[in-house]
Structure formats: structure tokens, C-alpha cells
């Protein structure tokens, strides 16, 4: 849209409330002027030009004006501050933690009581796993939302969540929650209305009267949760005896995909999003972004319209809640993951490739795939950041590119088979105790679930376990962006096999990796004679050193070739110095010879050991060890290419 239609401007003007001052209104309308043209163009690209789309934009614009005027004053101040400092989240002081409110803290009051601990750990970012109203059992850990405006009553209220956001902010911690916008629970009011036959809400979902279209779509769409149901569709139970209909459900049968081909769905979800933004949520984790658009004859993943819609949601925030950022959850091929990242789309993204390749390196004792990924797939557009993580609440999928592996002489399919066997302890000598997730004998696909400690060998009693846990985190803490800890992992929590017996968890083996608050391990965190104490102490040391190492901010990274496949090495440049990270994924010490280091100054500051080391005799990295070495570049002409 090059010139804004009068209807849109009229809708904005009509939404002005008497209490809004001229100065406030000017702030808002300046943002409208800056971003609404883009929003209009995006909607036209998705929904086509014409009066219907203009009408949608006008309705949306009025909604944005209303929402902005309802935005609390302190959040509007935050909007201004973040607009003035748009890369605030890329500092090396940022550190994330993620937890399930009920499992970790009981309820929101319990989360509040943990704030002193979050500060002890150095958290500046707290992701509360989905905590909105969801069916008791069929909730997929909260990813089947029945109401985006109500907190699950067993953990608290929306007012408590807003208060918590305030309190966290006062302690320097931003609040992250999920926007599960690809689907709703089949108990959401929209789904109930659709089931009851209300045509407006039937059009919110992809419902078909028979198998003709479902069969056609399923010819090319991937099966995501084959343990739950084959294909992408499930029958809608019909208590009234009407002919059976089929609804799109990518994940569980009780998670119905929304129909974004209907612009009313976009507008409805934008309203839910802004409601959450106005509660004080700082970052929205955009769940399952790859799946939001479907097109016959395609894989129905990562289609161009998925990006346009995310950009449109982004524009909505720029106008009505500019403090809010998006984190993309695209656990797909690395070529696709990167497509979601941009200041106009998602400013943050999980880094599933790095996560998977850390585990790949530890199993194979070969760091080349990880090194190659850092070399060619780590760069990001300006103003964006990776969220690095060792593991999440989900499974580990081996998402590396087959062609990358082939270049290193690694057969991708065979390597994935090896990793799946290794991580479920079906490989001789494996240290790992993971469990298979969505094991699909038909396609040979499988993913792995488990806690960091169990996957790294602590459960099996492997002597290298603690070092491996520290090593994995030391990589994530030094490659840039926002590292995210799965809380409990920092004290070495093990798999919880009993979680599978809890109601609603059924066959979903991911619950093994989502233990409850490990009180005993936390109680030992200051005792270095325990595993929990050793892990916690060393991770805390890494976090503290990172905070005072500005080279580790941002995303600039240049790999460093050690000519040793067991070593992953990279340089993080600062203005007059660089930090060279060398990580050893092998079970024995590895040496980098003096010639390889000859381009660097004669000595380096060993940031983790707190002393100075000479590089002229080469350097030895202990088994599963990691070095963070700072060298001066003032006279040496900058980082090595």
C-alpha cells in the first residue's frame, strides 16, 4: 500500500480516546506513519489487494490504537527506551533460563520466590513455559491453549503474571512467554464454536467434510507426531451424529491448526498477542512458526506466506507495543531456520543446529560438523541474535544439512542413525541415557529426549559427564547471542522416568526430560564434593567470566583452524583484543602446536583459569576441556581469517 486509504486513517482517528493527550497521540501516530504502510503491503501480499483487505487493515488499525491506549505507562516508557537501544538483547550480560511454572515452582508465587536464585545465577531473561488455560490432560504441556487471556488457575492469575513481569523487570530480568499461534486447543472457545457448526469459527480452522482434501494435502506434508496420529488431519468427534469431518492437526489431535488464509484469524491472534504484550511480556516465543501456512502440493512448512505473516505480526508490535521482540521456534533445516531471522521478522531465534551438533560432537568425538556450522551458518543479519541452548523441553532432532555432512565425508543418514542409537544407549560404550521420541519405523525418523546430565553421561556414571556438561555450556556461552539454560540442568538433574506415568503424558517421552524442581541437587549446589556442586560451581564461573568479557557479546565469530578434528575453535573479536575459544570434544587431551598458533601474540590471558599462558610452545586442551584465551590484536593486525 503506497498511500494509506482514508478508511485506515479514519479508523485510527476514531479510536482516539478523550484521555489520550496530544503528545501521546503524536507518539502513536508517528509509529502508525512509520509502519502501517508496510503492514498493509504485507496483508495485501497474503490476502490480495482490494477492498476486503483494506477493510481488514482498517479494523486492525483501530484495534492497534485501542491496544496502545490501554498499554500501561511504564511499558510505553520501555517502548521508547528499546526503540532508542534496539540491540539491548545482544549484550554478553544476557542469560536466559526456562522453566515450567508448575513443575519448577508450583505456581507463580513460587516463581517470585525464586527471584533471588535467578539473580544468584545471573539470569536476565526468564522463559515461563506455556502457562495459559489449557485442558487438564490434553494440554501438550500447555501448548494446547484454551484461552490466551487466562492463566491456568492452578498456577495463578493474569494479574499475578503482570505483577511478576513488573517484579522481574525491577530485578533486571525480562519475561518471555509463548505465543502458540499455529493452533489452539480443541477446547478453545473458537474451536468449540466451530465444532458446534458456527460458520464464522469453522472458518478459523481447516475443516473438511470428507477425506478428499486431507488425502491430497497428506501426499506432500510431513508427519510430525506419528505416535499420536498418522498424517496431518484428525476426525472431529461428532456427538450429534453428523457425518464425520476432518480438521488439520499438525501436532496432537487436540491441537487444531488455525486457518491463516482467513484474515480474521490474523486479526484475532494479533489481539491476543497485544493483550499479552500489555501484561508486560517482553519477548514472545513464536511457537511452531514453520507450520502456519498451508498450500496444496507443498510440504506445508516454511512457505513464503509464513514469513509474510510473521512480518505482519512484527509490524503490529512496532506500532502498538514496540518493546516486544519475537523469538522464532523453527526447528527445521538450517537453510530454513535462518529465513525467520531479521529485525522485521523475528529478532531472536533458537539455534537448533548448534544444539544438535554439540551432541553430535560429544558422541562422535569429532567436532568438524560443529566447526563447519560455526563457519558458514552462524552469521546473522544485524540487530538479531541466536538463542543458544544445550537442550530444550523438546526432543533433539538431527537437523544438520546432508550436503554439509557430505562435504566432510560424513553420510548424513548413517550419522543420524548412529546418533539415535548412541543417545538411547543402543550403541556399545555409549555414555548417554536418552529416550527415543516419535520413533517412526516407517520413515526411520527418530528424535531424542532427556536431560543434559542424563544425555552427557551422569546417569550412566561416566567419568567424563561433568566435564561434558560444562563443555556443552561453555560453547553455548561463548558463541554469542542469548544462551538459554534449562533450569535444573545447572545442578545436573537426571531424567524423570516417572513423569510418563502422570496423567496426560502417555506416550510423550519428552516428559522424561522435564523433571520437577530438583530440590536435593539445588541443596548441594555450593558443595563441590557433589556432582551438583561441581556442575553449578563451574557453570557459575563461566557465566561470571562471560559477563566481564565484552568480546563475547554480539554475534561476530571467525572460526580458527587447529587442524585437529577433536577441537572446535573460534575467535570472538573485540576492538583491540580477541577471545579464542578452543573446545576439546575428545576423551583425551589434545594439543595445538606452536606453528598453528604462530599468528597470535606470544602470550594470552586464560580467562577461565585467571592466569597468563604462553602460546609459543603450543597449547594442550584437557579431555572435554575448554579454553577462553584473550589475546591482544592491537599490533597483530586483527583476527586471523
Minimal CB distance to ligand GLC: which residue? Answer: 143
The least distance separating ligand GLC from the CB of residue 449, rounded to whole angstroms, comes to 11
Instruction: Out of 202, 329, 394, 496, pick the active-site residue.
Output: 329
Which of 288, 396, 424, 456 is in the footprint of ligand GLC by CB under 6 A?
A: 288
Q: Which residue has the cell 560444562?
A: 470
* CA-based nearest residue to 455, from 471, 419, 431: 431
Which of 301, 394, 467, 531 is in the footprint of ligand GLC by CB under 6 A?
A: 394
Give the residue with the Cβ less far from ligand GLC, 184 or 584: 184
CB contact at 8 A, 360 and 561: no
Contact region with ligand GLC (CB under 6 A), list: 140-148, 383-391, 405-413, 486-494: 140-148
Contact positions with ligand GLC (CB under 6 A) in 248-267: 251
Give the residue with the Cβ less far from ligand GLC, 371 or 451: 451
Q: Which residue has the cell 554439509?
A: 404
Give the residue with the Cβ less far from ligand GLC, 140 or 490: 140
The least distance separating ligand GLC from the CB of residue 225, rounded to whole angstroms, comes to 8
Cα angle value 87/89/92 (rounded, 5°): 110
99's CB contacts (< 8 A; 6+ apart) are 105, 111, 126, 127, 128, 129, 486, 487, 488
Residue 287 known to be catalytic: yes
Which of 42, 180, 348, 380 is in the footprint of ligand GLC by CB under 6 A?
A: 180
Give the residue with the Cβ less far from ligand GLC, 202 or 287: 287
CB contact at 8 A, 208 and 245: yes
Judged by CB under 6 A, does residue 190 bind ligand GLC? no
The least distance separating ligand GLC from the CB of residue 31, rounded to whole angstroms, comes to 31
Judged by CB under 6 A, does residue 228 bind ligand GLC? no
The least distance separating ligand GLC from the CB of residue 180, rounded to whole angstroms, comes to 6
Tell me the backbone φ, ψ of residue 476, rounded to 5 degrees. Answer: -60, -35
What whole-number distance in Å separates Cα of residue 472 and Cα of residue 458? Answer: 14
Neighbour count for residue 390 (Cβ, 10 Å): 25
Site string for ligand GLC, 396-425 (x = CB under 6 A): ------------------------------
The least distance separating ligand GLC from the CB of residue 140, rounded to whole angstroms, comes to 5
Contact region with ligand GLC (CB under 6 A), list: 139-147, 160-168, 294-302, 555-563: 139-147
DSSP summary character for residue 625: -
Contact positions with ligand GLC (CB under 6 A) in 57-76: none
Could you tell me how many residues make up the chain?
641
The least distance separating ligand GLC from the CB of residue 251, rounded to whole angstroms, comes to 4
Which of 287, 462, 496, 551 is in the footprint of ligand GLC by CB under 6 A?
A: 287
Contact region with ligand GLC (CB under 6 A), list: 138-146, 318-326, 405-413, 514-522: 138-146
| Three-class secondary structure of residue 462 per DSSP | coil
What whole-number distance in Å separates Cα of residue 214 and Cα of residue 200? Answer: 21
CB contact at 8 A, 294 and 217: yes
Q: What is the DSSP string of 8-64?
A: HHHHHHHT--TTS-HHHHHHHHHHHHHHHHHHHHHHHHHH-SSHHHHHHHHHHHHHH
Residue 439 known to be catalytic: no
The least distance separating ligand GLC from the CB of residue 348, rounded to whole angstroms, comes to 15
Contact region with ligand GLC (CB under 6 A), list: 99-107, 135-143, 295-303, 542-550: 135-143
Judged by CB under 6 A, does residue 140 bind ligand GLC? yes
Give the residue with the Cβ less far from ligand GLC, 139 or 311: 139
Give the residue with the Cβ less far from ligand GLC, 232 or 562: 232
Contact region with ligand GLC (CB under 6 A), list: 62-70, 137-145, 352-360, 427-435: 137-145
What whole-number distance in Å separates Cα of residue 303 and Cα of residue 308? Answer: 9
Which grid coordinates belong to 420? 539415535
Mark out the alpha helices in 171-262 (DSSP H runs): 189-195, 199-202, 212-218
CA distances from 610 to 73, 541, 572, 605 (A): 45, 11, 18, 7
What whole-number distance in Å separates Cα of residue 415 and Cα of residue 360? Answer: 9
* CA-based nearest residue to 131, from 115, 155, 112: 155
Give the residue with the Cβ less far from ligand GLC, 115 or 500: 500
What whole-number distance in Å separates Cα of residue 559 and Cα of residue 400? Answer: 18
Instruction: Out of 287, 351, 366, 462, pick the active-site residue.
Output: 287
CB contact at 8 A, 323 and 365: no
Contact positions with ligand GLC (CB under 6 A) in 143-162: 143
Active site residues: 287, 329
Interface with ligand GLC by CB under 6 A: which residues? Answer: 140-141, 143, 180, 251, 287-288, 329, 394
Amino acid at each position: 500500500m503506497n498511500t494509506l486509504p482514508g478508511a485506515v486513517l479514519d479508523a485510527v482517528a476514531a479510536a482516539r480516546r478523550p484521555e489520550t493527550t496530544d503528545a501521546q497521540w503524536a507518539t502513536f501516530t508517528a509509529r502508525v506513519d512509520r509502519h502501517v504502510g508496510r503492514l498493509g503491503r504485507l496483508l495485501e501480499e497474503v490476502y490480495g489487494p482490494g477492498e476486503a483487505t483494506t477493510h481488514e487493515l482498517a479494523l486492525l488499525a483501530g484495534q492497534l490504537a485501542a491496544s496502545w491506549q490501554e498499554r500501561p505507562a511504564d511499558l510505553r516508557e520501555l517502548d521508547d527506551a528499546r526503540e532508542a537501544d534496539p540491540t539491548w538483547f545482544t549484550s554478553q550480560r544476557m542469560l536466559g533460563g526456562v522453566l515450567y511454572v508448575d513443575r519448577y515452582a508450583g505456581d507463580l508465587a513460587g516463581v517470585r520466590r525464586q527471584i533471588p536464585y535467578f539473580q544468584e545465577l545471573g539470569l536476565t531473561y526468564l522463559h515461563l513455559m506455556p502457562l495459559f488455560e489449557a485442558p487438564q490432560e490434553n494440554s501438550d504441556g500447555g501448548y494446547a491453549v484454551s484461552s490466551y487471556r487466562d492463566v491456568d488457575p492452578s498456577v495463578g492469575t493474569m494479574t499475578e503474571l503482570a505483577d511478576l513481569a513488573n517484579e522481574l523487570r525491577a530485578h533486571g530480568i525480562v519475561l518471555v512467554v509463548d505465543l502458540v499461534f499455529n493452533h489452539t486447543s480443541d477446547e478453545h472457545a473458537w474451536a468449540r464454536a466451530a465444532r458446534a457448526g458456527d460458520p464464522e469459527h469453522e472458518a478459523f480452522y481447516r475443516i473438511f467434510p470428507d477425506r478428499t482434501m486431507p488425502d491430497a494435502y497428506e501426499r506432500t506434508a510431513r508427519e510430525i507426531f506419528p505416535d499420536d496420529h498418522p498424517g496431518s488431519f484428525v476426525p472431529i468427534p461428532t456427538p450429534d451424529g453428523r457425518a464425520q469431518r476432518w480438521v488439520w492437526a499438525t501436532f496432537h489431535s487436540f491441537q487444531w491448526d488455525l486457518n491463516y488464509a482467513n484474515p480474521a484469524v490474523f486479526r484475532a491472534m494479533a489481539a491476543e498477542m497485544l493483550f499479552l504484550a500489555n501484561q508486560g511480556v517482553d519477548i514472545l516465543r513464536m511457537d511452531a512458526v514453520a507450520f502456519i501456512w498451508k498450500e496444496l502440493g507443498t510440504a506445508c512448512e516454511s512457505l513464503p506466506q509464513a514469513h509474510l505473516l510473521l512480518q505482519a505480526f512484527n509490524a503490529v508490535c512496532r506500532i502498538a507495543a514496540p518493546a516486544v521482540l519475537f523469538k522464532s521456534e523453527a526447528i527445521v533445516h538450517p537453510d530454513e531456520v535462518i529465513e525467520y531471522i531479521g529485525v522485521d521478522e523475528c529478532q531472536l531465534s533458537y539455534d537448533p543446529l548448534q544444539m544438535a551438533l554439540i551432541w553430535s560432537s560429544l558422541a562422535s568425538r569429532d567436532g568438524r560438523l560443529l566447526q563447519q556450522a560455526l563457519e558458514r551458518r552462524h552469521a546473522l543479519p544485524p540487530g538479531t541474535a541466536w538463542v543458544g541452548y544445550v537442550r530444550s523441553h523438546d526432543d533433539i532432532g538431527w537437523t544438520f544439512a546432508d550436503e554439509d555432512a557430505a562435504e566432510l565425508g560424513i553420510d548424513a543418514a548413517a550419522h543420524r542413525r548412529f546418533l539415535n542409537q548412541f543417545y538411547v544407549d543402543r550403541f556399545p560404550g555409549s555414555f548417554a541415557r536418552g529416550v527415543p521420541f516419535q520413533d517412526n519405523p516407517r520413515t526411520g525418523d527418530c528424535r531424542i529426549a532427556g536431560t543434559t546430565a542424563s544425555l552427557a553421561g551422569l546417569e550412566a556414571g561416566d567419568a567424563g559427564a561433568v566435564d561434558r556438561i560444562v563443555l556443552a555450556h561453555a560453547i553455548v556461552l561463548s558463541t554469542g547471542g542469548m544462551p538459554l539454560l534449562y533450569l535444573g540442568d545447572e545442578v545436573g538433574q537426571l531424567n524423570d522416568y516417572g513423569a510418563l506415568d502422570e496423567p496426560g503424558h502417555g506416550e510423550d517421552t519428552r516428559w522424561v526430560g522435564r523433571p520437577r524442581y530438583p530440590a536435593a541437587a539445588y541443596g548441594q549446589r555450593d558443595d563441590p564434593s557433589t556432582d551438583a556442586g561441581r556442575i553449578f560451581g563451574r557453570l557459575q564461573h563461566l557465566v561470571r567470566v562471560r559477563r566481564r568479557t565484552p568480546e563475547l557479546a554480539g554475534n561476530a565469530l571467525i572460526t580458527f583452524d587447529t587442524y585437529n578434528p577433536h577441537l572446535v575453535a573460534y575467535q570472538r573479536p573485540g576492538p583491540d583484543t580477541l577471545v579464542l575459544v578452543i573446545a576439546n570434544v575428545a576423551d583425551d587431551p589434545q594439543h595445538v602446536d606452536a606453528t598453528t598458533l604462530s599468528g597470535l601474540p606470544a602470550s594470552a590471558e586464560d580467562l577461565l583459569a585467571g592466569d597468563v599462558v604462553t602460546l609459543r610452545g603450543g597449547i594442550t586442551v584437557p579431555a572435554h576441556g575448554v579454553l577462553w584465551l584473550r589475546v591482544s590484536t592491537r599490533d597483530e593486525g586483527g583476527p586471523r581469517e
